[in-house]
Amino acid sequence: MTVKLESRCILCVRKAIEEKYCKYHYEALQSLRVHYEIWKSRYGKISWHDYLRRLKKIKYTGKWVKEVIEVELKMCKK
């Protein structure tokens, strides 16, 4: 893990604390990862990309999470 002092969150103006996200967006990413494990145990095999695409359509997905999903989806594209 390398964090530069001047680095900013990829999604907002806050300081990045982990990877490329600020505290709030990183928390959103962490909750996405936790839920991914739950989804896999419940629905069987699902790729990270498919999981994110499905989650994006769910209305009650929070704002922070939705923003992180957008970034992660872009990075998944090959």
Query: Total binding residues for Zn ion by CB under 5 A?
Result: 6
> For the chain, how big is the Rg over CA atoms in Å?
13
Binding to Zn ion by residue 11, rule CB under 5 A?
A: yes
As given in the structure block, the two tokens for residue 30 are 């962490």
Please tell me what DSSP assigns to residue 21: B
Residue placing its CB nearer to Zn ion in the complex, 14 or 56: 14
CB of 45 to Zn ion, least distance (A): 31
Please, are residues 32 and 67 in contact by the beta-carbon 8 Å criterion? no
Residues 13-42 that bind Zn ion (CB under 5 A): 14, 22, 25
Q: Which residues, in sequence order, are bridge partners of residue 21?
A: 18
Task: Please give the residue ranges that form the binding site for Zn ion (CB under 5 A).
Answer: 9, 11-12, 14, 22, 25
